[in-house]
Amino acid sequence: MSRSGPKVLHAIGWLALLPLLGLCCTQWFGIDGRRSLAVLHAVTPYVLVWAAPLALIACLTRRHPLALVSLVPVFTLLTLSYPIVFPGGAPAVAAGSPRLTIAFSNALYRNVTPEEAGRAMAATDADVLVVAELVSEFREAVNDAVAPGDYPFRSQNIADGSGRVGMWSRFPIVSGGRVEVGGREALDVVLDVDGQLVRMLAVHTTSPLTDVRSLVDQLAAIGDHVESTRHPTVIVGDFNASRWHPAFRALLDRGWSDAHEALGHGWSTSWPMDRGSRPPPFVRIDHALFAAGITPTAIHDLEIPGSDHKAFVVTLGLTAAALTPEE
């Protein structure tokens, strides 16, 4: 190799490092108002991980300034990943606490196999079924798939649309129904779970590929909406955002935890599930969030035919502080 060879490789190393540092800056300072940034944030771990071999090669070739600066993206990735790598577990369920299972799916409003999708959703046998992008074909498919008289408590929008959210429940809906959160339809209900009141907010935010600013505002509005809740609360839905998005982390920082992360499934992915031209699932944007008073005990993902998202079923119980003493 000529004398200029090492200098060229050194220059390439610095050029490769610059976009990684730029991505780090957007994460540190919460810069997320552009669609291109939202896409980059979704693939943050796949991008920043390349700083590790770059730092190693720079160290072995005694390019110490390059090696040292390359540790900045490595440190950023480790910091962002810490809650996934070391989740700390979920709080303990109180003895005698009732259990609540919730199945959530973004069924895809243009699902071409609604009958199969409806049967798959009903087959979860969850206490509560929550569906985003609910259209009449899927609603009727679920109604046909569940046993007569099962899921007697329902809250659904009879209009079709990609923003619609609907639910079927075995537990009585004590109060609440359809609401608007940040300009987007959601379901906010209080359920009577074997004598204990549990609040559930079901959401479906705007895709960042459509309007990033609206997504950021909606995530903040979700936090505002549940800030003064009086009951143990769980938020389920398609958030169109992941831990790698600063606006979603800002929501978590308001006292919410992700059930997948708490139960050791933080690296799991839920989108995209389309077969064909799309890449394999690489990011989790479907979540169940919980706060003090309620805690997850189990969670698993499943595929719903025709959907571009993985669904999930989460089981929750109450902590001792949330149990209502018996009269």
Domain boundaries, the chain: 4-85, 99-322
Give pLDDT, residue 150: 96
Entry pTM = 0.94
Give pLDDT, residue 1: 46
pLDDT digits (tens, 9 = 90+) for 195-239: 999 999 999 999 999 999 999 999 999 999 999 888 999 999 999
Across 56-84, average pLDDT: 95
Give the sheet arrangement for strand 310-318, strand by strand.
153-155, 165-169, 128-132, 99-106, 310-318, 294-303
Backbone angle region of 237, left / alpha / beta, with phi > 0 → left and psi within -120 to 50 → alpha = left
Residue 302 has pLDDT above 80, yes or no: yes
pLDDT digits (tens, 9 = 90+) for 167-178: 999 999 999 999
Pairing between β-strand 165-169 and β-strand 153-155 as defined by DSSP bridges? antiparallel
Closest-CA residue to 223 (of 248, 259, 244, 243): 248
Residue type for 18, please? Answer: L
pLDDT digits (tens, 9 = 90+) for 3-20: 555 777 778 889 999 999
Distance CA 149, CA 152 (A): 6
Helix (H, G, I), strand (E, B) or coil at 252: helix
> What Rg, from alpha-carbon coordinates, does the chain have?
22
pLDDT digits (tens, 9 = 90+) for 132-166: 999 999 999 999 999 999 999 999 876 776 778 99
φ and ψ at 216, to 5 degrees? -60, -45
Give pLDDT, residue 320: 86
CATH class for the domain made up of 99-322 = alpha beta
Distance CA 325, CA 102 (A): 25
pLDDT digits (tens, 9 = 90+) for 306-321: 999 999 999 999 998 8
φ and ψ at 20, to 5 degrees? -65, -40
Give pLDDT, residue 324: 62
- For residue 311 the two structure tokens come to 């669904």
Across 109-120, average pLDDT: 95
